[in-house]
Amino acid sequence: MLWSLLALFVVYPLSAMFGQAFLVDGRPSLGPLLSALGQPNHRAALANSLVLGTLVGIVGTTIGFLFAFTATRCNLPDRWVRLLDAATLLPLISPPFTTSIAFVFSFGPRGLITYELLGIKGTNVYGLASTLAAEVLTYFPIAYLALRPVLAAIGGNIEEMAFSLGSSRWRVFRTVTLPLAVPGLANAFLLLFAASLADFATPLILAGSRFPVLPTEAYLQITGLFDLKGGAVLSFLLLVPAAIVFLLQRHWVGRGHFVTVTGKAGPQSALDGVSRGARCLLVALCATVALSILYLYALLLYASVVVAFGANHALTLKHYVVIFTEGWKAIKDTLIIAFLGMPVGGLFGVLVGYLVARGEFRGRQAMELVSMANYALPGTIVGIAYLIAFNDPPIALTGGALIIVACYVFRYSPTGVRTTVALLKQIDRGIEEASRSLGAGSFTTFRRVTLPLVLPAFFAGLGVVFIRSMTAISATIFLVSIDWILITVRILENMTELSLGPAAAFSVFVIAVVMLVTTAIGALLRRLPGPPGIATVAGYGGG
């Protein structure tokens, strides 16, 4: 069943796409690939994408780890932790290009920061630096969400043991915490690298014409030159690095087995894992990042309540009137699709993750690879592949909501898959074996033992599918139709129509809705029976 779904919604459209890329008049050919590589612009785009993806992966994982470590190890008051969470939530729950626009306002030749504040003239906002900064601010929360449960699960007992054996804090961090976090770190890096490779919207606005990247080139190739073949070839170029990083990461993580949630674990003790100085430094760093995020979003909020940003700063609510009248259909459609995709995506992520981590069957690794494919590929290509594959009979789905829901589920459940795998790698199989040897059936074991343990991953996956259903654009821009339109597509259109106000108002609305829903999930989770530690973690995972 899982296989047939994966075959239908991952393998089949991608095959259709690769048919486009490598078949010339029905015969296999490398011609299109070679001619794409012959263009200097495309070669530059490939190199730029790799550089950008790697940097986003490294910087984003570092910041994500910093946040996760600060939140779990610094004994911060709850209020502070909530503040950190709120700041990291913002980029996750808004369409990526809204940050980009705030960047353009802030750092250009007339930017609020570079010109108005610092008086620097002739700055250039377009290029690697600002694309990197915008993508890191947008995607590091994924790393934070992925790493936080992992760090929390590593827990205090092992570290405490090391302390009581006389290790210094730094030594514990280096020899215990960090190695145990390696699967999580690799997981975070992969997610960020893939997210950067797939993002066409941020570079579209910030990369400028001297720093072309592949997803944007592929998007322009398809939308502008009507060149499906060229776009397919460029996407193949993108798939290669994504697949290599993915396989490397598996190899690297697969070497060691770290079991930290054992049946023998005692009550968690409060940790004092960092010194005063380190704690101040960590909090200061996190606060800086959090404040810059809050600044960008304050700017966005401001743009939504003035008549015309930069020209007429009289306060008005007319942009909100516009989105709730002319934009109402987009709002309604998006909400229906997001609420449909959410539970399906969460469930799917955990099931595939469970099978990959615990299953013993042929093709386990192939299943993992296939389940990641739609995430690693640029959304533009997934969208076009869906359009080609599902437009005509036998499987005509375009124009409906099902295809958009399917696209989100198969594209964004990998977060749930990876988180499930990372969590399960930390859970001793002995717990499940003990349950079975005590006479519980395998289903009971799954429901009573494994399921509660992977619940954080379920809610992380579900949360990401919901958030992305509200905010993603790159794949679904090709799948919207007369009957089903999405808010994000309206935002991008508004931006190119000089209707910045409605675009900002839409963004604020999206952020508000997602906050509401994720908060509700968190509150619900805290009421669920189960070990308190897990419920807390899951609450954050839900963000």
The pair of structure tokens assigned to 344 is 């399906």
Q: Min. distance of Cβ 535 from other proteins in angstroms? A: 23
Q: Is 192 in the site for other proteins (CB under 8 A)?
A: no
| The one segment of 46-54, 100-108, 138-146, 179-187 that binds other proteins by CB under 8 A | 100-108
What is the identity of the amino acid at 125? V
Q: Is 310 in the site for other proteins (CB under 8 A)?
A: yes
The pair of structure tokens assigned to 377 is 């590929």
Question: 427 — phi, psi (to 5°)?
Answer: -100, 125
- Report whether 500 contacts 309 (CB < 8 A): yes
Query: Strand locations in 15-84, DSSP E?
Result: 23-24, 27-28
Q: Is 224 in the site for other proteins (CB under 8 A)?
A: yes
Among 12, 80, 295, 446, binds other proteins (CB under 8 A): 446
Q: Min. distance of Cβ 43 from other proteins in angstroms? A: 10
What span, in angstroms and rounded, lies between the C-alpha atoms of 356 and 6?
Answer: 14
SS (H, E, C) 66-77: HHHHHHHHCCCC
Binding mask 58-97 for other proteins (x = CB under 8 A): ----------------------------------------
Among 15, 430, 442, 516, binds other proteins (CB under 8 A): 442
Largest Cα–Cα distance of the chain, in whole Å? Answer: 74
| The one segment of 190-198, 286-294, 307-315, 456-464 that binds other proteins by CB under 8 A | 307-315
The pair of structure tokens assigned to 283 is 């909090």
Q: Is 315 in the site for other proteins (CB under 8 A)?
A: no
211: which residues sit within 8 A by CB, 6+ positions away?
Answer: 48, 126, 127, 128, 131, 203
Nearer to other proteins among residue 51 and residue 322 (C-beta): 322
Nearer to other proteins among residue 327 and residue 539 (C-beta): 327
Among 46, 153, 222, 422, binds other proteins (CB under 8 A): 222
- Report whether 100 contacts 180 (CB < 8 A): no
Nearer to other proteins among residue 221 and residue 426 (C-beta): 221
Binding mask 454-483 for other proteins (x = CB under 8 A): -----------------------xx-xxxx
- Report whether 542 contacts 462 (CB < 8 A): yes
Q: Among residue numbers 17 through 46, which ones bind other proteins (CB under 8 A)? A: 39-41, 44
Q: Is 204 in the site for other proteins (CB under 8 A)?
A: yes
| The one segment of 70-78, 91-99, 419-427, 498-506 that binds other proteins by CB under 8 A | 498-506
C-alpha triplet 425, 431, 434: angle, nearest 5°: 145
The CB density around residue 226, as the number of other CB atoms within 10 Å, is 9
Q: Where are the alpha helices (DSSP H) in 306-363?
A: 318-325, 328-358
Among 270, 311, 315, 438, binds other proteins (CB under 8 A): 311
Q: Is 496 in the site for other proteins (CB under 8 A)?
A: yes
Q: Among residue numbers 371 through 410, which ones bind other proteins (CB under 8 A)? A: 384, 387-388, 391-392, 396, 398-402, 405
Across-strand partners of 308? 312
What is the identity of the amino acid at 103? F
Nearer to other proteins among residue 10 and residue 150 (C-beta): 10
Is the sign of the CA dihedral 290, 293, 332, 392 positive or negative?
negative
The pair of structure tokens assigned to 242 is 């994504």
Q: Is 57 in the site for other proteins (CB under 8 A)?
A: no
Q: How many residues line the site for other proteins (CB under 8 A)? A: 71
Q: Is 8 in the site for other proteins (CB under 8 A)?
A: no
| The one segment of 141-149, 156-164, 305-313, 518-526 that binds other proteins by CB under 8 A | 305-313
Q: Is 321 in the site for other proteins (CB under 8 A)?
A: no
Q: Is 284 in the site for other proteins (CB under 8 A)?
A: no
